[in-house]
Chains A and B, each alone.
Chain A
Amino acid sequence: MAVAERRRTGAPIYEGSRIPQPTPTVLRTPPDLAATGDILTVNFGPNHPSTHGVLRLVVDLYGEDVTGLEAVIGYLHTGFEKNMEQKTWWKAITYPERIDYVSFQNNELVFVLAIEKLLDLQVPPKAEWMRTCLCELNRLHSHLVWLGTSALELGAISMFWYAFRERDQILDLFEMVCGTRMHTRYFQAGGLAEDIPRGFFPEARKFCDWMPRAIDDYETLLTRNQIWLERTQGLGLLSAADAVALGQSGPVLRASGVNWDIRQNEPYLAYGKIDFRVPVYPAGDVYARYRVHMDEMRESVRIVEQCLDRLETMEGDPWIADDRKVVLPPRHELHTSMESLIHHFKIVTEGYRVPEGEVYVAIESPRGELGCYVVSDGGPKPWRVKFRAPSFVALEATATCMSDALIADMIAIVGSLDTVMGEVDR
């Protein structure tokens, strides 16, 4: 089957399970094909323009068909978890951001939520809503980067510039609030590092007014584009049962027809009080994942608008918890209160202590379920931190999705799984 067949649009999801045996993550060439001697093993090495970051795929090709696939990862292993054990809780918050470097605030959020769960610390409502707002802006950012790079790899090169135009606007908003474009380190245990600056709300509103029109532009370019449809429909099929068995979450799971979104089913932050839809498409192919991403972008804009509505009424409210044992006291108190000075000193030099325990917190990052398992021994430094990265699990599904794919399809499929190698390798 060396020539591509024309795929029927709306191809049905397959019967049974396509998870390869015995190893779910390795697609092996069937022995009869291997015996023909026509198999070419190609290395899509760690440096490749089309794999998202440093992913290595060792692929067996029979003509243009992909008959065998194994993903080799670890080229970006940074030892985050071990490094975080050496730093105090406060300093360790800078590390998770770099794990999934496209949706950085979600990573900070999950670690900070884990600390707050262990500390049993209540976060003021203003901080909850602002965290929600920033995480949704980050979801938009992540989906825009995904859209730009995935479309670029499939040949729709101009999408990159359009997506990054909006992305720069979002980064301007981050810079206004948090001081820097990426890796903002704005969340603290207990709330936010600083108050929301004046001028943020009008700028954010301007962005929210503009963004739906930009998403309409993207959809005009791609959603009914014949080339895009032919390159994405019917590819990378993953049934709902296989997706659940393989631990998929996020857009990949929702594109296979499973209605599961942690924001909706296990609400955290302010999501329980916000009205938003969760897009679910049953087709289970690359096109369905694309549609899920686009619809999620629209929903994120709506969520941000609702957060802004609510935040504008909270002018002057506290943005961080009051517990001086964990949170730095406001600076003006240091001039008058001895206890504040001592608290400040202890927190800065030694760090706050988190009571003994273990906790697993999961949030819905743009890629799926991002989990953080934290073990504390009661001291100023974490004992063990483990991040459950959705991209790590998504790459486990490449072998299953790759049944009757061609080389060109492989790029589309790996792109649709929305992997960020920083997360995969940690």
Chain B
Amino acid sequence: MALEGRLRDAGMKSERLLWPTKGPSRFEQEVDDLERRVGLTTLEKAVAWAQTNSMWPDTFGLACCAIEMMSIVSSRYDIARFGMEPFRGSPRQADLLIVSGRVSNKMAAPLRQIYDQMLEPKWVIAMGACASSGGMFNNYAVVQSVDKIVAVDIYVPGCPPRPEQLMEGIIRLHEAVRAGVPPAYEIRSVAS
């Protein structure tokens, strides 16, 4: 398996990539496919560098995770050092959609609308347990994972995730972009 290869050389530190593999699984195949498409020219590297250093999030705070998302803007956890402190109100000016909080069935349509209004390239972070999988709310009202609605790049677990955890998710996203991993909508569609 060509796992030790370009993604790790490109600086990605995800531990899934560093585990010795026992055999082909869907995740490793996906990574394999990715690596065949990864291969950045200098210009693309420069573009990726620019994209990651100024990836403006959209204000999509829904519930408790939104409060922790607000606190990475605060001075202690300071997301401005990554160039991400302007949370744009309009999705047309935003690159990153941090879905922070539980998505109810009523909110699913506006979420998809906001996502569609964003211009490409766009990335999605599912922040928190509720956005990643429905969280503790396995019931009629909450969409069990936001990847049923939009294509998600990074899942950040936690209830709510500490600001440092969200920062880790954002940094991994930056690494992935710099390695050349395409945004999620090019790789996979929404879950079923």
Contact = CB atoms under 8 A, between A and B. Distances in A.
Contacts of B36: none
Interface stretch (A43-51, A241-249, A296-304, A354-362): A43-51
B69 to A, nearest CB: 12
B67 A102 contact: yes
Contacts of A49: 59, 87, 89
A422 interface: yes
Interface residues of B, number: 35
B71 interface: yes
A74 interface: yes
Interface stretch (A78-86, A200-208, A308-316, A366-374): A78-86
Contacts of B59: 47, 49
Given A53-B61, A160-B74, A78 B137 contact: yes
Interface string A102-142: 10100000000000000000000000000000000000000
Nearest to B90: A49
Contact of B106 (A45, A53, A74, A83): A74
Interface string B158-190: 011010000000000000000000000000000
B107 interface: yes
Interface stretch (A58-66, A164-172, A264-272): A164-172
Nearest to B162: A181
A94 interface: yes
A78 B138 CA distance: 9
Nearest to A175: B162
A161 B79 CA distance: 12
Nearest to A102: B67
B141 to A, nearest CB: 4
B140 A79 contact: yes
A165 B64 contact: no
B22 interface: no
B63 A165 contact: no
B122 interface: no
A182 B162 CA distance: 9
B16 interface: no
A80 B33 CA distance: 42
Contacts of A161: 74-75
Interface string A33-77: 000000000000111111001100000000000000000001111
A82 B140 contact: yes
B66 A165 contact: no
A149 B71 CA distance: 11
B136 interface: yes
B75 A164 contact: yes
A254 interface: no
Contacts of A101: 63-64, 67
B95 interface: no
Interface in B46-79: 59-64, 66-68, 70-71, 73-76
B101 interface: yes
A425 interface: yes
B42 to A, nearest CB: 38
A76 B137 contact: no
Contact of B71 (A98, A167, A421): A167
A45 B59 CA distance: 13
A145 interface: yes
A79 to B, nearest CB: 4
A87 to B, nearest CB: 9
Contacts of A83: 136-139
A143 B172 CA distance: 34
Contacts of A183: 64, 159-160
B24 interface: no
Contacts of B139: 78-79, 82-83
B178 to A, nearest CB: 29
A160 B73 CA distance: 9
B67 A145 contact: yes
Contacts of B131: none
B114 interface: yes
Given A46-B107, A76-B62, A82-B139, 17 more contacts: A46-B110, A47-B91, A48-B89, A49-B87, A49-B89, A54-B62, A76-B104, A94-B136, A95-B136, A98-B64, A104-B64, A145-B67, A160-B73, A161-B75, A164-B76, A168-B74, A181-B68
Instruction: Give 3 nearest A-B pairs by CB, closest first.
Output: A164-B74, A101-B64, A79-B141
Interface of A: 45-50, 53-54, 74-80, 82-83, 94-95, 98, 101-102, 104, 145, 148-149, 160-161, 164-165, 167-168, 171, 181-183, 421-422, 425
27 contacts: A46-B107, A47-B60, A47-B114, A49-B59, A74-B104, A74-B106, A77-B104, A77-B106, A77-B141, A78-B102, A78-B137, A79-B137, A79-B140, A79-B142, A82-B140, A94-B136, A102-B67, A145-B67, A148-B70, A164-B70, A164-B71, A164-B74, A164-B75, A168-B74, A171-B71, A183-B64, A425-B104
